[in-house]
Structure 1
Amino acid sequence: MAESVDGEEVEYQKHAKYFKRFLNILPERLASHDSTRVTIAFFAVSGLDVLNSLDLLPDSFQQDIINWIYKLQVVPRPGEPSAGGIQGSSTFNVSGTSPHCGLKQYRWGHLAITYTGIAVLVALGDDLSRLNRQAIIEGVAAVQRDDGSFSATIEGSEHDMRFVYCAAAICSMLDDWGRVDRQRMADYILKSIRYDYGISQHFEMESHGGTTFCAIAALELSGQLDLLTPDVRERIIRWLVFRQQDGFQGRPNKPTDTCYAFWIGAALKILGAFELTSFKDNRDYVLSTQDTTVGGFSKWPQAYTDPFHTYFGLCGLSFLNEPGLQEVVPSLNISKRAYRRLQDLHRQWRLERDGHACTNGEVALHIE
């Protein structure tokens, strides 16, 4: 059990400074994550957004981040594979003197990076006008597998529920499902519901809190949440609620972990059952992992902090209506402010495309 932290407050300013540091330089222990630097930027920028502290970043610096993400955009040339999207860092911007050197094969969009990259652009108020939306959606469709799942990249990648979620989030944010087969995607999700009614990363694997969120969110984003029968829905809720010890665990008989304040909390939010949890125990656990000296949250008390757990800890506190935090839209994992900006872009695109909203089966989340 986490130690009692009655009366402890969220260190808003210290957490904001913590995120800001990660936008300037990575500590040595995170150097191995250079190839996924966009995801670190997502945690930092979105964390500042949830903290209502984006104004700590000068306008010029925000524009630098926007321009950097656009430089990582991959737009295939005619005749090249449909590998459109965003790559993780400039590490992959390799070049060679020979047109046949093959180095350009590493210039692939990655679903998780594309999702987090778009989310950063939206959080910073960009209008997404420099995104090649068609190339991105074609890239998403190109990595859908026959079983309905998605790979992260066009070759040499795992394919599982994590990337199902990323694909659904990208299509939802860009308001275009293109050639993505939503029915096959839903079939994959339904076949991954396990005997205990958690949802696994892939067929016949163990139920997991993170992938249960990915599956539930993907169903909502694709307008297919009603494929869960009332009985199945109730059993999934039961599995999720039972993940609370004080904080939340990701699997039975595992320790609690700060990040599941989001993964489990968001899944329950989508299913309309978050009120079944103990808010006090949840808050106490998350705050027990807070570094009150320099900011940040860790997965466990007395462990190293990192931007991943710091961001998801704050999201978990936002679900608890912690004062001073932006509301988080659980299915897209962005602030409500960013979501409203995205809705404005969708209305603009629909008017440009065909003059009216919600055509071709698009789904609006109808968040008040």
Structure 2
Amino acid sequence: MDPTTFDRERHVAFLEMMLECLPEDYESQEINRLTIAYFVISSLALLDALDRVNKDQLVSWVLSFQLHPRNDADLKNVSLLQDNSMDLVVPHLQVLSLMMNRHLASTYCALAILKVVGYSFSNSNFELILVSMRELQLPDGSFMPTHTGAEADLRFIYCAVAICFMLNNWTGMDKLKAREYILKCQSYDGGFGLVPGAESHGGATYCAVAALHLMGYMETGIISKLSQTLVIDVPLLVEWSLQRQSVDGGFQGRANKPSDTCYAFWVGGVLKLLGGYHLCNKEALRSFLLSCQSKFGGFKKFPDVIYPDLYHSFYGFSALSLLQEPGLKPLQVELGIPDISGAGI
């Protein structure tokens, strides 16, 4: 492959192959089937290749994961769940029918897929998702991902915020409590940790900044409006984010870590939302990203890795979209999905 050229057709072919049959290494990711589908579908959308997907069939498959309450007791325990009595509508995704726990991340991915393909949320009753979500928010404002209990941190605040935003309904959370928790996660160096007092991390920082944007507490391009009262220390955050670009042009997720394809989106997206993306070295970043293209199509975590994976492929496409690479559609950065205009089912 030409290391200076973005090979769109090879990437589309790779994603089409992933729709037909996933490699056996993905067998352990059975419980993450909606997340895997989100990476594939969103990647195809970024490449303007959604015509390769049967949208009606895909929508039916995603909706089959929603659990419908049988009685009033179920109302506080509703989210998206695979119904194991229903055959999957999209067998070519190579997943088995298996009962799985309700999970905020899976719910976010399901709604994101539906939004990307243009499904009208007015066609379904998703308000019960919000009823369920309210039970997941803890007194400190953070969210657990499941009703069975698990770690609570910025990842799941972001999922909850994005769900409320996509459904245009904020009854599923206490925004003020979530905001206060996010603010407590900003570290001394400007970045955000997953929980208060934790080391700053690129993914956590994106979750914090994107959530504040979606909740309406931060304006896009706020770096140019520093005379206004700010909810976080923006100059320090911009400095921390810019320091994450390494000498090889890529972005690292934490200090003293190697550059990684995905952080070109996680940290690059933060800079984009803050209005400081023009301050990074775009030419060097593009060169690093293209060095991570796989000869099989898709993107690798590091340049010297042999095989691509769907996670780094999607965020590689997303990062190049931020760079306005020809052949890629723009992003809705704060939602982490392609900006699909005019689509509708």
Shift of 1:63: 1.8
**Aligned counterpart, 2:22:** 26
The amino acid across from 2:195 in the alignment is H
* Residue 156 of structure 1 pairs with residue 149 of structure 2: yes
- Name whichever of 187-196 and 72-81 sits farther off: 72-81
2: CA distance, partners of 1:241 / 1:86: 38
Over the residues paired in the alignment, what is the CA RMSD in angstroms? 2.3
Q: Deviations for 1:39-94, whole angstroms, at most 9, x for unmatched residues? A: 1110100000000011122xxx322221111110123331125232223x567989
Q: CA deviation at 1:126?
A: 1.5
1:223 aligns with 2:219: no
1:40 aligns with 2:43: no
* 2:116 is equivalent to residue 114 of structure 1: no
Counterpart contact for 2:193–2:204, Cα < 8 Å = yes
CA change 1:179–1:86 in 2 (3 A) is: closer
Work out the CA distance in 2 between the residues paired with 1:223 and 1:92.
41
Q: Deviations along 1:110-169, whole A, 9 cap, x unmatched?
A: 111111111111212221345322101112221111110111111222211100110010
Offset of residue 252 of structure 1? 0.2
Match of 1:318 among 321, 330, 333: 321
Matched residue SS, 1:207:
coil
User: Gaps spanning 5+ residues in structure 2: where?
Assistant: 88-98, 220-227
Q: Report the counterpart of residue 244 of structure 2 in structure 1.
A: 243
Describe the shift of the 1:9–1:108 C-alpha distance in structure 2 as closer, same or farther (beyond 3 A): same
Instruction: Mark the CA change 1:108 to 1:327 in structure 2 (over 3 Å): closer, same or farther.
Output: same
Question: Partner of 1:69 in structure 2?
Answer: 62
How far apart, CA to CA, are the structure 1 residues paired with 2:319 and 2:251?
A: 10
Equivalent residue number for residue 192 of structure 1: 185
Aligned equivalents of 2:267, 2:327: Cα separation in 1: 22
Match of 1:362 in 2: none
Whole-angstrom CA distance in 1 between matches of 2:336 and 2:260: 18
**2:285 aligned with 1:282:** yes
Most deviating of 195-204 and 106-115 = 106-115
The 8 Å contact of residues 109 and 139 in structure 1, kept in 2 or not, is answered as: no
Q: Which deviates further from its counterpart, 75-84 or 297-306?
A: 75-84
- Measured at CA, do residues 154 and 316 of structure 1 come closer, stay the same or move farther in structure 2, by a change above 3 Å? same
Report if aligned partners of 1:149, 1:160 keep a CA contact under 8 Å in 2: yes
Deviation at 1:260, TM superposition (A): 0.6
Aligned to 1:365: none
The answer as to whether partners of 2:282 and 2:323 remain within 8 angstroms in 1 is yes
In structure 1, C-alpha distance between the alignment counterparts of 2:337 and 2:209, rounded to whole Å:
16
CA distance in structure 2 between the partners assigned to 1:327 and 1:201 by the alignment: 28
Q: Does 1:175 align with 2:168?
A: yes
Q: What secondary structure is seen at the aligned counterpart in 1 of 2:77? A: coil
1:127 partnered with 2:120: yes
How many angstroms does 1:19 deviate by? 1.4
TM-score (norm 1): 0.82
Aligned-partner residue type, residue 72 of structure 2 = P
For structure 1, the 5+ residue unaligned runs are 95-105, 346-368
Pairwise CA distance, 1:219: 0.4
TM-score, normalised by the number of residues in structure 2 = 0.87
Contact 1:75 1:83 in 2 (8 A): no
- The change in CA–CA distance for 1:212 and 1:284 in structure 2 (over 3 A counts) is same
- Look up the match of 2:263: 260
Between the aligned partners of 1:229 and 1:92, the Cα distance in structure 2 is 51
- Provide the C-alpha distance between the structure 2 equivalents of 1:131 and 1:27, rounded to a whole number of angstroms: 33
Structure 1 distance, partners of 2:67, 2:242, is: 41
Residues 3, 291 of structure 2: 8 Å contact kept: no
State the AA in 1 paired with 2:266. Answer: W
